[in-house]
Each structure stands twice: as C-alpha cells, then as structure tokens.
Amino acid sequence: MGARASKALLAIVALAAVGLGGCSAQSGAGAPVTITVAAAASLESPFTEIVAQFERTHPGITISSTSYDGSSTLATQILEGAPFDVFASADDRNMQTVIDAGMVQEADVFATNTLEIAVPAGNPASITGLQDLARDEVLTVLCAPEVPCGAASEQLLKLAGVEVRAASLEQNVTSVLQKVAAGEADAGLVYRTDVLRDDAVTGITTTGAENVVNNYPIAALARSDHADAAQAFVDFVRGEDGQRLLVDHGFGPGA
C-alpha cells in the first residue's frame, strides 16, 4: 500500500470512530432518569397532582418518591447526605441553611401561605379567635418553633399579644391537623391550605394572619446526578400548570 493510500485509510478510520462516538452519545442522551423530591408536609396535596402531571408531560423522567415532612427535618436530612434531587421548603430559613452549606446555587419562591385556626367539625370549644386559644380549658396544639408553621404561629401569637400554653408541639403541620381532626385537641394553628384539604376540620380566619406570610422556595440540589431532570421539575412547579394546581389548593402566588 502506498503512502497516499495509507493516509486515506487512516482518515476513513478516524471519521468512522467519530461517527460511532456521536451515535453512542446520542443514544445515552434520551435514557430514562429517576429523581427524588423532598417537600414540606403542607405541599403533599398539590404535589401529588403536580408529580403525576409532570410525569405525563415529561416521558423519560420518573419521580421515584416524594418525602413529605417538616422543612427543618428535610433540611437536616439533606445536610446529612440524603439522596434528594429537589428541595421545596415551607420557609426561607431552612432553604437558606441548605444554600449556606453549598448544596443549592439559587432558589425561587413558587408559592405563599398564611395561618388559620383549625377546630374539629362543630367547633365544640366555641373558638372564635386567637384569644380563645389561651383559655385554660382549651386544648391547643401547635407546631414546634423550629419548623416553619411553628415559627409563623409564634410570630402571629406575639403580634396578637396572646400567650398560649400548647398541649403539644408537633414536628410538622400535618401532625397538628391530624390531632385536631381526630378530636384530640380543641384547636390548632395550621396553614389555610391544610384546612381546605381536610373535611373533618373547620377553619377560622385570624386577625393579622395577612401580616405573617410564609414563602415557599424550591431548588434543584447541586449534587444531583440528574441536574437537568431536577431543574425540569423545578421549572414545571413554577410554570403555568404547576401554579394553577397550587392555586387550586389554596396557595398564594410565588415571586
């Protein structure tokens, strides 16, 4: 084989190698991926629908599980290495903890929420406002101060000048709602959206609640192995369909 023929053969082999490499990359680009979401307990109802709709409109991306709990609990799990891809918090404080640890580049507020008094159906203790929660005979449950609903409750009661001796301090708003719904408590402070999702309780709007608004930020976690899929879910929550579902469940608009 002459020199000219050898060079031509090498060029053909090189082009073939590039072509095969390209095919390999393209075949991997559409591979199915699975992500996990950590979301505040108060988001369970809308996120159940959001996840289902997201998966229908994003074939190839599956949400393997969504962990609902108090935002402070979820933030601690993330700091300890829990393999989440997305974090949706019920307040700025716990998201900031994750940002400060370098696990999130930026977060966007996608919803807001306010508090209401929840009482069992029929309102057996005749609760009409925050002052009634301080009555000796009234059994009141609150969220613990370190979780968002607890911090908001503390702020609301302070603004109203009401001091409440809680029968128990719960680690997430769902636990407060369940105790009131079961009749184990006469009243509890929960989010307005929680009252809407449980027919066993009645909501009582409180004066000054509009001055204590919880922001809900969401972010894709920086260490996610599926950053594009995680960001696609974040974009969906902040997009038209996600926002419509959140409003349907009583949430206020995000930033």
Please report, for residues 157, 225, 247, the alpha-carbon distance to residue 196 in angstroms, rounded to integers and kept in the order given. Answer: 22, 36, 12
* Whole-number Å distance between alpha carbons of 114 and 116: 7
Question: Tokens for 41?
Answer: 């307990």
Q: Which amino acid is at 180?
A: V
The owner of tokens 């640890």 is 101
Residue 68 marked as a ligand binder: no
Residue 67 marked as a ligand binder: no
Our measurement of the distance from residue 11's CA atom to the centroid of its chain's CA atoms, rounded to an integer in Å, reads: 55
CB count within 10 Å of CB 174 equals 22
Residue 89 marked as a ligand binder: no
Question: Tokens for 92?
Answer: 């700025």
- The answer to whether the beta carbons of residues 229 and 85 sit under 8 Å apart is yes
Specify binding-site residues for molybdate. 42, 71, 173, 191
Specify binding-site residues. 42, 71, 173, 191
